[in-house]
Amino acid sequence: MRLDATAALALKALSRNKMRSLLTTLGVVIGVSSVIMMQAMGEGATALVSNEISSLGSNMLIVLPGGESKGPFGGGLRGAVPFTRGDVEAIGRECTAVRRAAAVSSTVIRAVVGERNRSTSLMGITPEFFDVRGWHSASGRDLDGEDLRQASKACVIGQTVATDLYGGQDPVGAELRLHDLSCKVVGLMAAKGVSTFGQDQDDFVLLPHTTFARRIAGDEHVGTIMVSAVSEARTDEAKAQIESLLRQRRRIRGGEEDDFNVRDMREIQRVLGTVTGVLTTLLASVAAISLVVGGIGIMNIMLVSVTERTREIGIRLAIGAQARDILQQFLVEAVVLAAAGGALGVLLGVLGALAVAEAFHLPFRVPIFASAIAFAVSVTIGVVFGVFPARKAARLKPIEALRFE
Amino acid sequence: MSDAGQTPTRAPLLSLRGVTKVFGAGEAAFAALKGIDLDIFPGEFVAILGASGSGKSTCMNILGCLDTPTSGRYQIEGVEVGSLSEDVLARLRNERFGFVFQGFNLLRRTSAQENVELPLIYAGVSRRDRDLRAREALASVGLAGRERALPNELSGGQQQRVAIARALVNRPAVLLADEPTGNLDSRTGREIMALITQLNRELGLTIVMVTHDRDIAAHAARHVVFLDGEISSDGQRPEAAA
């Protein structure tokens, strides 16, 4: 008996019991659609994190004082020799793979406007900061070289600070007090929103580093150096150049460890990728288990169906069906059930993933690979869980099957 | 034709020698057949008679390769059946035998046409030939125009005609009928018997029919009577009625 005739037979048998066929394959539908949804959401989250890091600039390096730390989130050693603006300028000038280097020193401070006040993060920066971060004022202006030279009492603020302290009004040109320093708001940074990790990225005040050093910190130390490499491909080269330059400037001898640390955004991205990857795998495995449960559902109904149709099997055997024809018939039926469930599951999964992506503002891509895998797995499940009932059917003796009431 | 069995030079189509069939084992063992010798010759119309439990159906099932003997030999056209595999037996059932059952045994929710096409599907006949031959077979039993009908839309007599068409569609050597009129009223039963007799007379089809009804058996030329697993009489009935 040829496969096309068997397939036609299987489709017919299934369409006779539409409701039952649908319920039987529901497990596979749910399994496949949840695998795809989990996969798509995981991919969306990963893409979101990468986007966020790329928005920081994937060619960005951060130089921290202190020795080697355990992980990308670990802090530098306390008491390590701080950098100077001279270091920052040297990096910008001498490292050929570096496009810009900015000094950043930060502290937490209470910003006051009239009756209102807000505890916020205050950063003293050199004007390269705006280029390194690829982030500029939305209104007013950025801090510039003139501000730095004159240690001007000018500041640029983030959206959250603006909203909180000035209500709905335009803060540009207004006064802002930081302790005893009264400065003028010259710019309002473009909004960045809340990061994936729940941190408000718009809650800060920027001052020229010179002003910060003289009026706030009381020293010329530079806490962090933010560097952008010429291109993403040259970040490793930039890192090596910075390391060698800083070792020289900080007079670290041959065998000694670095007392500073150059971090690469790609490293951070890799770690975040691993975290979201593990989460995705975990969720997808839970979904995969439901796929197996769906397979057991198919096996169960196929066994019932074999018993119900024992007489039909007897008739087929009596008029010349061979054991393999019967095996094929029931196996194809199970596979068609599972494949139909898989196809429906892929459809629902993609729609579901789209809905979730819309709801949580995640980037959405049609998960072609996951869909193909999930579909292939459901067909395999049809074969695996269809074999046992089909063999049971094929092993029936003609006369016993015919006599079955 | 009725004296076919008497010609010693003709080889039997089906031949049973010392066939026994035991169901169960040990204490519960029950011998349904206790050493049967039976030859069926081409073109014969044989009725197998006997009370229920006499072994006549068991004998029929062995003849049709639906069941295998516990001991003894069964040859079809001189070929020993005992040595054949399940697959070869399936092919024999497909090509050499047509079955007609008391309960019709049509597939439910499957049209007359599709029921008749089934043996052809297993024989690997192409879709176009299947369609053509099934139509011919249905027409030959008087059901032209009823191809699309489902079994539950047909009367008992019509269902049995579909079953006969299905039995004949592969042009078998032997038609095995197990109480073919058992589920039919007497008038419809006579019509079915007329059809079976006509197949025997006009096509020379060999027919083996199990029945417990003497009136039905009267259509057959030869009567083989079973009693307690043995053949108690085997003889020609020259006066067989049409």
Give phi and psi for A102, each to the nearest 5: -125, 145
The confidence band for A264, taking pLDDT boundaries of 50, 70 and 90, is: confident
For residue A404, what is the nearest residue in chain B, using CA coordinates?
B105
Per-residue pLDDT, averaged over A68-87, amounts to 64
**Averaged over A236-241, what is the pLDDT?**
90
* Average pLDDT, integer, range A345-350: 93
Digit-coded pLDDT (tens) for A178-230: 988 999 999 999 988 777 666 788 999 999 999 999 999 889 999 999 999 98
Please report, for residues A343, B141, B142, B162, B165, the alpha-carbon distance to residue B135 in angstroms, rounded to integers and kept in the order given. Answer: 38, 10, 11, 11, 9
pLDDT at B25: 85
Judge: B61–A399 Cβ closer than 8 Å, yes or no: yes
% of chain A beyond a pLDDT of 70:
94
Beta carbons of A325 and B122 less than 8 Å apart: yes
Kindly state the average pLDDT of the residues A350-356.
Answer: 89
Given pLDDT bands bounded at 50, 70 and 90, which one contains residue A359? confident
Q: Which of A230-234, A303-307, B4-8 has the lowest mean pLDDT?
A: B4-8
Measured CA to CA, the distance from residue A227 to residue A37 in angstroms comes to 38
pLDDT of B240 over the 70 cut: no
CB B12 within 8 A of CB B41: yes
Bridge-based pairing state of the strands A181-189 and A116-125: unpaired
pLDDT per position as a tens digit, B96-105 = 999 999 999 9
The mean pLDDT value for A319-326 works out to: 92
Q: How confident is the model at residue A56 (pLDDT cuts 50, 70, 90)?
A: low
- pLDDT of A1: 56
Q: What is the pLDDT of residue A67?
A: 66
Q: Please name the residue that has the structure tokens 């229920």.
A: B52
**What's the average model confidence in pLDDT over B58-77?**
93
* Side-by-side strand order, sheet with B45-50: B97-100, B174-178, B206-210, B45-50, B222-227, B230-236
Given a cut of 70, is residue A283 above it in pLDDT?
yes
Contact state of B66 with A318 under an 8 Å Cβ cutoff: yes
User: Are B171 and B129 contacting, i.e. CB atoms less than 8 angstroms apart?
Assistant: no
- Is the pTM higher than 0.90? The answer reads no
Write down the pLDDT at residue A196: 63
Chain A residue closest to B108 (CA)?
Answer: A312
Non-local CB neighbours of A376 within 8 Å, separated by 6+ positions: none
Helix (H) or strand (E) holding B236: strand B230-236
The segment with the largest mean pLDDT, out of A6-20, A34-48, A212-226, A264-278, is: A212-226
How close is the nearest chain B Cα to the Cα of A331, in Å? 17
C-alpha distance from B41 to closest chain A C-alpha (Å)? 22
Closest CA to B151 of B112, B180, B105, B102: B112
pLDDT (tens digit per residue) in A89-146: 999 999 999 999 999 999 999 999 988 899 999 999 999 999 988 889 999 999 999 9
Of A162-171, A204-213, B38-47, the one with minimum mean pLDDT is A162-171
Comparing CA positions, the residue from B207, B219, B130, B132 lying closest to residue B172 is B207
Nearest to A402 among B66, B95, B122 (CB): B66
**What average pLDDT does chain B have?**
90
Q: Which CATH number fits domain B43-65+87-236: 1.10.357.10, 2.60.120.10, 3.30.565.10, 3.40.50.300?
A: 3.40.50.300
Distance CA A404, CA B128 (A): 34
> What is the ipTM, given to two decimal places?
0.91
Q: Please report which confidence band the pLDDT of residue A78 belongs to, taking 50, 70 and 90 as the band edges.
A: very low
Does residue A399 have a pLDDT over 60? yes
With CB atoms and an 8 Å threshold, state whether B93 touches A319: yes
